[in-house]
Structure 1
Amino acid sequence: MDDDLLAEWDKHRSRFGLTWLTKIMTAKRLRKVGVDPDTAAQVDTVLRSALAASDPSAYEARAKDAHLICVAIDHRAAIVSMDKKARNGYRSFCTSSPPWREVDYFCLPDHDADLATWCTSPAHPAPPICS
């Protein structure tokens, strides 16, 4: 987890989110990390060149969560989200940006399983974002 992501958790704090975050931290499945400025610049360049001129609102939507992609690329970490639209938006970059192919992105809006249990179980493989 980087500082941007922690700030986002604080902004959207809920009972569900706090329970999940507590379980993940207790299980030692969360660690504080930084993002390589070169990765952040590369991700922003891809987003900006693909979207900024043609669809500024799509660029803003992807750019606000770009730190998730940066952390996943730099630390070979998975993204867990309930936002299927965001995942699908990032998938469009799979052919234009090799680092995206390495990102595992869980998206659970269509699953009934409890998110905390699902995330802490090693039996669930991470779905690559580009699959």
Structure 2
Amino acid sequence: MEKINQRVRIGRIVYLFLAILFALSVATQIFLAGMAIFISPANWMKHMTFVHLFGFNIPIFMLGFAFIGASPRWAYWQLLGILISIFLMYFTANISAHLPWFGAMHPVFGVLLFVLSCTMVSKTWKFTFNNKNNQEGEA
């Protein structure tokens, strides 16, 4: 067993940082939606604008750092799940005028996205800081 090199270690740490940032961003989105519902509808603009800052951007950067960090296969599958969930979020937000039942699924997919992002943080944390897994390159 050889020790992982510096590039891989940095790639994994940046991937973890981005996963945490993404999970916090999803939580912020849920909070902004709550502000729009319970405080003022004017907050919908914050909810809609904020998603464009992190929505697809952070997962795309995560994909690059997954390669750099020599991440295991599960990391790529989790990213695919995140990207599909984001697509479903956009779809359900924009189709509600034509298919209200799909629009009603928007918060359900939001909760799913939050659970997926928290799971990703947990697994990535364990993978990044478990020395045995880092040396073997598998989780």
Q: TM-score, normalised by structure 1?
A: 0.28
Structure number with the higher strand fraction is 1
Structure number with the higher helix fraction is 2
Which entry has the higher C-alpha Rg, 1 or 2? Answer: 2
